């Protein structure tokens, strides 16, 4: 009986998504328009809950969970991400330490810093902001982080736990996607899920997490043929590619749930220096067909930091237990 799948049609999938307080119903929205998944509100609720849990942790143990963030170089986007992570840490009452290293810092220096942080009992999570400068080996650096402090979930040990269906610290972006689906009470067992993209950061762990949720999972990538046909079979569609508007509305199965992980910066058409951020899914087209869809920005993005904080608290709880 465990694997029996409840019948799910478009109407009741839409009903489920709409029932959530986090599915935005816009003024002009009709039954033929998807629920907009409000990742910002869901992440904010998660952070509020985390603050309470961090307060309990501090009362019980007498210290705060600590996250160390290492940034090598001055990539502007990375600097913004690091700043936001620090700010959010403080909001939920965690301790944060930032290590900003010069772009020419040698790999050994980064490894020495990681070794020091591995041995520091005030540090429960270590995050190395990617991408690293080309002279530093990303795999080598990630492998140096103690798996118990690997709050990004990229260490092979944590990837291995995830691959055998027992995630301890799961990568934050895909974990955030699963949390969005859970919050909206989207049924997953037995549903057909398509993950487009197979990166170590998003696509692969996303597929593993959906498998744990008992979805029937397909992974597509740059060499996959007939992508549109694969999409048309998916009840749950997760797209993490990095190509603006790659997925068109007529590729989407009516009533599907669409999670758009892509973040693409498009130059404004007016020739100014302005830009706008779009996802990998042609949002307006898709919203006419899907039952629920994440916007970009404001969908998956806010969940990533919230899940990083949750992983840090989890790492601190495991270390304390």
Report, as residue numbers or ranges, the catalytic residues: 85, 129, 152
264 is an interface residue for ligand NAD by CB under 6 A: yes
Q: Which stretch binds ligand NAD (CB under 6 A): 12-20, 131-139, 158-166, 300-308?
A: 300-308
Binding flag, residue 196, ligand NAD (CB under 6 A): yes
Interface with ligand NAD, residue 237, by CB under 6 A: no
**Of the candidates 43, 50, 144, 202, which one interacts with ligand NAD according to CB under 6 A?**
202
Per CB under 6 A, 203 contacts ligand NAD: yes
Chain positions 110 to 169 lying near ligand NAD, rule: CB under 6 A, are: none
Listed ranges 15-23, 51-59, 154-162, 237-245: which one lies at the site for ligand NAD (CB under 6 A)? 237-245
Q: Rule CB under 6 A: is residue 220 a binding residue for ligand NAD?
A: yes
Task: Determine phi and psi for 282, rounding to 5 degrees.
Answer: -70, 95
Q: Which of 142, 262, 312, 316 binds ligand NAD (CB under 6 A)?
A: 262
Q: Smallest distance, Å, CB 320 to ligand NAD?
A: 28
301 binds ligand NAD (CB under 6 A): yes
Interface residue with ligand NAD among 8, 123, 207, 263 (CB under 6 A) is: 263
Other Cβ atoms less than 10 A from the Cβ of 135: the count is 11
**How far apart (Å, rounded) are the C-alpha atoms in residues 304 and 262?**
13
Residue 241 as a binder of ligand NAD (CB under 6 A): the answer is: yes
Among 222, 265, 275, 276, binds ligand NAD (CB under 6 A): 222
Q: How far is the CB of 224 from ligand NAD (least distance, A)?
A: 6
Q: Does 261 bind ligand NAD (CB under 6 A)?
A: yes
- What residues line the site for ligand NAD (CB under 6 A)? 173, 196-199, 201-203, 220-222, 224, 227, 240-243, 261-264, 300-301, 304
């Amino acid at each position: 009986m465990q694997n029996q799948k409840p019948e799910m049609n478009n109407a009741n999938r839409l009903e489920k998504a709409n029932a959530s307080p986090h599915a935005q119903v816009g003024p002009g929205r009709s039954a033929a328009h998807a629920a907009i998944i409000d990742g910002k509100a869901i992440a904010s609720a998660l952070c509020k809950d985390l603050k309470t849990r961090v307060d309990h942790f501090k009362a019980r143990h007498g210290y705060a969970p600590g996250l160390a963030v290492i940034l090598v170089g001055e990539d502007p986007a990375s600097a913004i991400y690091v700043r936001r992570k620090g700010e959010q840490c403080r909001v939920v009452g965690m301790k944060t330490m930032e290590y900003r290293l010069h772009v020419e810092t040698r790999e050994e220096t980064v490894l020495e810093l990681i070794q020091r942080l591995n041995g520091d009992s005030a540090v429960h999570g270590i995050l190395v902001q990617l991408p690293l400068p080309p002279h530093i080996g990303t795999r080598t650096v990630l492998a140096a982080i103690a798996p118990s402090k690997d709050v990004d979930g990229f260490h092979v040990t944590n990837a291995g736990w995830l691959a055998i269906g027992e995630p301890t610290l799961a990568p934050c972006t895909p974990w955030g996607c699963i949390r969005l689906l859970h919050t909206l009470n989207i049924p997953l067992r037995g549903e057909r899920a398509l993950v487009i993209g197979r990166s170590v950061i998003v696509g692969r762990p996303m597929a593993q997490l959906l498998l744990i949720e008992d979805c029937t999972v397909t992974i597509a990538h740059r060499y996959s043929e007939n992508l549109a046909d694969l999409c048309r079979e998916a009840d749950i569609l997760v797209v993490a590619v990095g190509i603006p508007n790659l997925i068109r509305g007529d590729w989407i199965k009516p009533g599907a749930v669409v999670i758009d992980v892509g973040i693409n910066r498009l130059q404004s058409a007016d020739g100014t220096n302005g830009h706008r951020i779009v996802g990998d899914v042609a949002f307006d087209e898709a919203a006419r067909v899907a039952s629920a869809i994440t916007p970009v920005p404001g969908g998956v993005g806010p969940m990533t930091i919230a899940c990083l904080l949750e992983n840090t608290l989890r790492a601190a709880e495991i270390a304390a237990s």
